[in-house]
Structure 1
Amino acid sequence: MNLTEYLFARLRELGVGHTFGIPGDFILSIYAVQEAVGFPTVVCSHEPGVGFAADAYARVRGLGVALVTYGPGALNTLNPVACAYAEQSPLLVVSGGPEMSLRGQHDVHLHHVVRNYESQLRIYREVTTDAAVLEDPATAPGLIDRVLRNVCLRKRPGYLEIPRDRVRAEVAPPAGPLDLEPSAAAREASAGALDEVVEEIAAMLAGAKRPALYVGVGVRRHDLTAAVIRLAERLGLPVATDVLGKASFPESHPQFAGVYLGALGDPGVRELLDGSDCVLGIGVVRTDLGTGYWTERIDRRARILIDPDGVRLRHHRYDDLPIRRVVEALLERLPAGGRPAPAPPRPAAGGPGAPAPGASEAPAPGGRLRVADVIRELGRLDPGRYSFVADVGDSWFIGLELRTEVFLAAGYYASMGFAVPGALGAGVADPSRRPLAIVGDGAFQMTGTELATLVDQGLQPIVLLLNNSGYGMLEALDGPSPSYLRRDWDYPAMAAAMGARTARATTPQELAAALARAEAEPAAWLIEAITARDDLSPTMARFRDHVRSGAAPPPAM
C-alpha cells in the first residue's frame, strides 16, 4: 500500500464518498491514485467553490475533503477553510507539494512557491486544528491518523501536504480502525468532574421554575440531535436554537420554540431564554450576531453552556469533558422533569420562523415582488424534500424565517459566495434531498458558476437568486453608496448557458408559478427574483435599525 492509498482508505472508512477539487501540476499524481482506487472527485470551476462545497459536504456527512494543488490552488481555498474553522466544520484540505528532493538550498526558484517551501504550511496552521507535511513515509501513517482524528474530534479543518516524490511511497497498511474515542485513562481522569457537572446541572434544573433548552450548532456537528431530542422530551423543556444551530433540533417538533436572536429576534423566544432561571445550552456558539448584537440578556447565574470540550456553569468551568460524554451522562442520570411538554411561544409577526408581515394575505394581482412574498412562497415548500442553503445578508435572514429540516449557511463567518457551491456539497452528500440555494446577486457573481458543476453532477437544485442590484445588506446598515451598486447581469441567460432551466419573477404570482414549475419539472433551475433595494426581511430591518441607532455593545457578557 502506498501513502496516498492509505489516506484514501482512511477517508473511505470515515464515510467520505467524494472529494472536491481542481487538478494542478503538483497534485496530478494524487488524482491518479484516487482514480485508481475508485474514489470519485467533483471537479469545480474555482477553488473557493471547492472549499465551500467540501465544507457543506462535511456539515451533512461529518467529513469533507478538498483536493487542491500547491500554491495558487491551496491559497485560493484559504477563505472557505477559515469559514469552516470559524463555524466548526470538519474539512480536510489535501494539497500536493514540491518534491522533498527539491527543498534544499539552491538559487533556482520553483514555481508556486511563495516565500519558502514552508510558507503554505505556516499559513494553514492559522486556520486548521492540525496540519502536517508527509515528508517521511515511516511517519506518514501516524501523521495522517493524527490529523484525521483531530479534525473529526474537534470539528475543525485540517491540512495534509503530500510532496510529489512521496505520493507512491510504500507504507504499512492500517493496523485497525481509526480510534476516535477518548482513552480509558482520560475517561477515568475526568470521571469525578463529570459527576460534579451532572449533579450541579440536576440541582439547577430541579430548582428552576422556567427552565429552557438552548441548542447550538455543536449538536449537529457532533451528531447529537437524536440524543438532544430524547433529553428535551425527558425533561419536558421548550427548545430554542441559536442562529448557527438552526435545524439542529427539528423545527417541526412540538417543543421547538424558534431561533434566538436577542432583542432583534422573536419576542416570545427572547422571553423564553432571557426570562429563564435555568438555560441549558448545548453546543451553542455565542457570537455578536447570535446575541442580536449584544442584546442577549440571559442571566449568567442561570446559564449552563456545554461546549465541545468542557462545561461553563454559572461563573466556573470544567475542562476536558467532551460534549458527547456530558450529554450521554445527562440522559443516563437526570430524572424525568415531570413537566408536561410545553407549548412553545407563538412566533410574533416578523420574528424568525413566523410569517412575515402580510404573508398570510393574498398578494395584490400585478403588485411588485417583495421579500415578504419570497418568504411566504418558500414557506409553502415541503421542508422534508430540501436541503436549504443560504448565502449571507438577507438571503440568510430569509432562511431564518423558514421552518427547515436541513439548513446550511455561513452565518457567523459571513463570507459571501457560500450558497451555490454549498448546494453542490449538500446535494452530493445527501442525494435524497434537493438542494435549494438562496443567494443574492452580489454573492452569485462570486461563485455562481458552480451551477454548471451542479448540472454536470446530475443534481437538480433550485437556485433562488434575489436580485436587488447591489450589496443590499451593506446599504441597509451603512446607507447608500456607489460602492454598493452592482450592474445587472443577464442571470437567466448565464444559467441557461450552464445547462439550467430558468425563470424570472417580478411579481408574487410569477414567483409562485416559477417555483411550481421547478418543483414539477426535475432539473437544475435558476429563478431570478427581482426585488427593490430598500425592501428587507423583518429581521434584516431590525438589524438595520439597531446598527443605525448607534447602540454600543456592553463591556463584557
Structure 2
Amino acid sequence: MQLGAAITKALRDFGVNELFGIPGDFILPLLQQLQQQPDALPFYYLTHEPAVVYAADAAARCANRPAAVALTYGAGALNGVNAVAQAYEEYVPLVIFAGYPSRNEVASGLQIHHQAKTIDSQRRIYTEITCLQVRLDNAETATQVLYEALQTCKEQSRPVLIEVPRDAVDLDIVPRASYAAAAKVPVSVHEDDYQRLVVALSTARRPVILSGVNVRRSGAQHAVECLAEQFNIPLVTSLLGRASINPNHSCYGGVFCGATDTLAYQLLNNADVIIALGVIYTDSNFSAHRSLISSPHFYRIDFPEQSLKSWCSRLASEPLPLFETRSLNQPELQPDTTFSTDAVVQEIHRQLSQQSTIVPIVSDVGDCLFASLRASPTDFLAPAYYASMGYSIPAALGVYVTTQRRPVVLVGDGAFLMTGLELGQCLRYGCLPIIVLINNQRWDMIEAFAPKLNCTKLHHWQYTSIATSMGIESVRVHDHPSFAKAFAKAWAEPDQAHLIDVWMPEKSRSAKLSKFAETLTSINKTNSIEV
C-alpha cells in the first residue's frame, strides 16, 4: 500500500476533507502521491506558511474536527510555528505533515539545507506547540502510528506533528483493515468537588454557567445549553468562547470580556455559584478579576481532563431546583454619534440581522475584535486569546472551504499588510468575501498601549488599488452613510469579492479597546488585583 493511500484513508476516516499547504522540496514526493489517489483530498495552497496554517485553523474551528497542513522540512514547518502555537493555545486540532530528509541524506553526515541546529531541531521545536510528534519511517508501524496521532489530535483538540521523510513514499505500507482507538482510561471526575457543587446548587439562588471555548471544541454546546435550560441557569461566555453558545438561546447573558459595564459581568459578580466549563484562564478575561476565579463558589470543569458532555449529563440527572428567572435583557446599544469602529460593526450587524442565512464573521485582532462585540453572529471566528495579527484574510478561505458560506471579514490596516495578498488566492478557489478594512493609518492597538511610541504610524497605502489589481471590487468610504451603502452593495453582489476601505477619523478607537488597554496597563504598573 502506498503511503499516500494510507494517509488519504486515515484523514478521510477522521472526517478531514481538505489539505492546506505550500509545495516544498522535502514534501513534494508526498504531495505528488496524495494527488494521484482516486479519492484525493483537494489541496489549497497559499503564498506564505503562516497563512496556510491560519486557513487550516479556521477550517478546523468551523467544522469542529481536525484539518490538515503539509509543509516542507525546516524552512516551511518552522515558518508556520507562530500560527501552530496559536492553534495549540486555543485548542484547535491541526495535523501538521512536515517534510524530513531521506535516509540517505541523514546518513551522509552533511548539513541538510533548511536544517536548523541539528537534523531534529524541527521536531524539538514542535514539542512545545504540539501534543504529539511522530515520524512515518517504518512500513510495519506507519499506519498504526498515523491513526494514533490523528486520534490524539481529535481527543485533545490540539495540533500534532507528523514528519514524513522524503523517501517514505517508497515504503510498502502494511495496511490496516480497521482501526480501533485504545480504550481511554476513565478520568477522575474530581468526585469531592462535584458533590460540593451539587450541595452548593441545592441552596443557591443565583448560579451562572461560564462557557469557554472548549465547550465548542469538545462538542458539548448542546449539552451545556440543555443543562442551562433545564434548571434556568444564565449562560455567559468568555471572549474566546464566544461561539460556544448560541446568542439566541433563552438563557444567554452575553460575553464576559473583563469590562464591568456588561450584563455578563454583573451576572458573574452577583453569582453565588459559578460553573466554569471548558474555560481558558487568560489575562484578557481575568487580569482584573483574579479574585473571581479564586472564590470558593467558582467551580472549574476543565477539558480534556474531563468529558464536558458526560459531566453535563450527570449534573442534569441531579434533583436540583428550577432557579428563579432573572432578566437577561442586554442593555440597548446606543448608536454612535461619531463615525467609529463601533459604528461600522453596528451597521454590519443591522444589515446582517435582516438576512435569513447564516453569515460567518471573521475578525482579526485589534480594534475590530473589540468592536465586534457590537454584533451577535451565530458563527464567529477570531484568535481572541493568543491574538496573532494577520489571521482573518486566510481564515476566510478556511471558512469558505468548510461551510461554502460567504464570510464577512473585519481587519485592520496593520493586519491586512501582513496577509492581505492571500485574497488573490481566495478568489482562485471561489471564496468571495466582503472585506471591511478598518483603516486608521496606524497600529492602533499598539498605540492604545503606548501612546507616546513613535513607531506606530503606517505609511499610506492604496488598498483599493491593491484590491482592484487582484480582481476585487473596492471602494473607499469616510462616513456612516457611504459605508452603509457600500456594504449593502457588497452583500447584494455575492458573485464578486468586495473590499471596503473604511477611513477612520482621529480618535475613533472603540471604547472597549481603550478600556482594555487602560486596565492591563494599570495592572502591570501597580500589580493590583482588582481594577
Does the aligned pair in 1 maintain the 2:136–2:162 contact within 8 Å?
Answer: yes
What residue in structure 2 maps to residue 329 of structure 1? 314
Contact 2:99 2:164 in 1 (8 A): yes
* 5+ long unaligned stretches in structure 2: none
Shift of residue 323, structure 1, vs aligned partner: 2.8
How far is 1:549 from its partner? 4.1
Q: Which residue of 2 aligns with 1:409?
A: 382
Report the 3-state secondary structure (helix = DSSP H, G, I; strand = E; otherwise coil) of the residue aligned with 1:449.
helix
How far apart are the structure 2 equivalents of 1:524 and 1:296? 47
Q: Structure 2 residue aligned with 1:166, among 165, 168, 193?
A: 168
Structure 1 residue aligned with 2:225: 229
1:102 aligns with 2:102: no
Seen in structure 2, the aligned counterparts of structure 1 residues 498 and 280 have a Cα distance that, compared at 3 Å, is: same
Task: Confirm whether residue 503 of structure 1 aligns to residue 475 of structure 2.
Answer: yes
Greater alpha carbon shift after TM alignment, 164-173 vs 48-57: 164-173
> AA paired with 2:330?
R
Cα distance in 1, alignment partners of residues 291 and 246 from structure 2: 23
Q: Distance in 2 between matches of 1:174 and 1:283?
A: 35
Q: Which of 263, 271, 279 is matched with 1:284 structurally?
A: 279
Answering whether residue 498 of structure 2 is matched by residue 525 of structure 1, we say yes
Q: Is residue 92–residue 151 contact of structure 1 (8 Å, CA) maintained in 2?
A: yes
Over residues 53-94 of structure 1, what are the superposed CA-to-partner deviations in whole Å (9 max), with x where a residue is unaligned? 111111111111111111211111111000001111101111
Q: Judge which range, 511-520 or 493-502, deviates more.
A: 493-502
Matching of residue 346 in structure 1 with residue 323 in structure 2 = no
Quote how far apart the aligned CAs of 1:172 are: 2.3
After superposition, where does 1:50-61 map in structure 2 within 5 Å? Answer: 50-61=52-63
Instruction: Find the aligned partners of 1:498 and 1:11 in 2 and give their Cα distance.
Output: 33
Match for 1:81 among 80, 84, 90? 84
> Partner amino acid for 1:125?
T
**1:101: Cα distance to partner?**
2.2
Distance 1:547 1:306 in 2: 27
Q: CA deviation at 1:345?
A: 4.6
In structure 2, relative to structure 1, the CA distance for the partners of 1:182 and 1:489 (3 Å cut) is: farther
Q: Distance in 2 between matches of 1:265 and 1:524?
A: 39
Letter in structure 1 aligned against 2:100: G
CA distance in 1, matches of 2:17, 2:314: 33
C-alpha deviation, 1:341, in angstroms: 4.8
1:426 aligns with 2:395: no
Residue 14 of structure 1 aligns to which amino acid in structure 2?
A: F
Equivalent residues of 1:294, 1:554 under 8 A apart: no
1:336 Cα deviation (Å)?
5.4
RMSD: 2.1
For 1:358, give the aligned amino acid.
P
TM-score (norm. length: structure 1): 0.89
Query: Contact 2:253–2:264 (CA<8 Å) still a contact in 1?
Result: yes
Relative to structure 1, is the Cα distance of residues 376 and 74 closer, same or farther in structure 2, using a 3 angstrom cutoff?
same
Question: Are 2:20 and 2:52, in contact at CA under 8 Å, matched by a contact in 1?
Answer: yes
Q: Tell me if structure 2 keeps the 8 A contact 1:212–1:276.
A: yes
Of residues 479-488 and 198-207 in structure 1, the stretch that sits farther from structure 2 once superposed is 198-207
The 5-angstrom pairing of residues 241-280 of structure 1 reads 241-262=237-258, 264-280=259-275
Q: Kindly indicate whether the alpha-carbon contact (under 8 Å) linking 1:215 and 1:249 is maintained by their aligned counterparts in 2.
A: yes
Amino acid at match of 2:335: G
Give 4+ residue runs of structure 1 displaced > 6 Å after superposition: none
- 3-state DSSP of counterpart to 2:455: helix
CA distance in 2: counterparts of 1:295 and 1:477, whole angstroms:
21
Q: Deviations over 1:415-456 (max 9, x none)?
A: 11111111111111111x321111100000001111112111
Residues 110-161 of structure 1, C-alpha deviation per residue, up to 9 Å, x if partnerless?
A: 2211222111111111110001122222222222122111111111111011
- AA matched with 1:219: V
Deviation readout 1:486-536 (Å, 9 max, x if unpaired): 112111111111221112111101110011001101121111111135211
The equivalent residue for 1:113 is: 115
Corresponding residue for residue 133 of structure 2: 131
Give the counterpart letter for 2:406 in structure 1. Answer: R
CA contact (8 A) 2:223 2:313 kept: yes
| Contact 1:85–1:157 (8 Å) recurs in 2 | yes
Q: Which whole-Å CA distance do the structure 1 matches of 2:220 and 2:410 have between them? A: 27
**1-structure distance, mates of 2:491, 2:4:** 42
- Displacement of 1:271: 1.7
1:542 aligns with 2:512: no
Distance 1:76 1:33 in 2: 24
Indicate yes or no: 2:42 matched with 1:68.
no
How far apart in 1 are the matches of 2:492 and 2:271?
A: 46
* 1:40 counterpart residue number: 42
Kept in 2: contact 1:22–1:45 (CA 8 A):
yes
Q: Secondary structure at the match of 1:117?
A: coil
The Cα of 1:182 is off from its aligned counterpart by: 4.7
- C-alpha contact (below 8 Å) 1:91/1:156 kept by paired residues: yes
Q: Aligned partners of 2:521 and 2:156: how far apart in 1?
A: 38
The answer as to whether partners of 1:283 and 1:306 remain within 8 angstroms in 2 is: yes
Residues 10-59 of structure 1: CA deviation (Å, up to 9, x unaligned): 11111111111111111111111221122111111111100111111111
2:335 alignment partner in structure 1: 358
Partner of 1:385: 358
CA contact (8 A) 1:265 1:292 kept: no
* 1:381 to 1:222, Cα distance in 2 relative to 1, 3 A: farther
Q: Counterparts of 2:526 and 2:68 in 1: how far apart (Å)?
A: 40
Residue in 2 that maps onto 1:552: 526
Partner amino acid, structure 2, of 1:102: E
Identity %: 33
Which residue type is aligned with residue 4 of structure 1? G
Per the alignment, in what secondary structure is the counterpart of residue 351 of structure 2?
A: coil
- Deviations along 1:296-320, one digit per CA (max 9) or x if unpaired, are 635621111111133xxxxxxxxxx
Q: Is 1:466 aligned to 2:443, yes or no?
A: no
Q: TM-score if structure 2 supplies the norm length?
A: 0.93
Distance in 2 separating the partners of 1:76 and 1:133: 19
Aligned residue type for 1:224? A
CA contact 1:149–1:178 (8 Å) conserved in 2 = no
Q: In 1, Cα distance between the equivalents of 2:526 and 2:329?
A: 29
1:316 aligns to what? none
Q: Is the 8 A contact 1:74 1:95 kept in 2?
A: yes
SS of 2:360's equivalent in the other structure is strand
1:287-298 aligned at under 5 Å gives the runs 287-291=282-286, 293-294=288-289, 297=292
The worse-fitting range, judged by mean Cα deviation, of 291-300 and 491-500 is 291-300
CA 1:242–1:168 in structure 2 vs 1: closer, same or farther (change >3 Å)? same
1:295: Cα distance to partner?
6.0
Name the residue aligned to 2:301. 306
Looking at structure 2, the residues matched to 386 and 531 of structure 1 have their Cα atoms a distance apart, in angstroms, of 25
- Which residue identity is paired with 2:81? L
1:373 equivalent in alignment to 2:343:
yes
CA distance in 2, matches of 1:450, 1:163: 29
Report the Cα distance in structure 2 between the residues aligned to 1:128 and 1:531, rounded to whole angstroms: 40
Residue 3 of structure 1 and its aligned partner are, at CA, apart by: 2.3
Specify the SS of the correspondent of 1:284.
Answer: coil
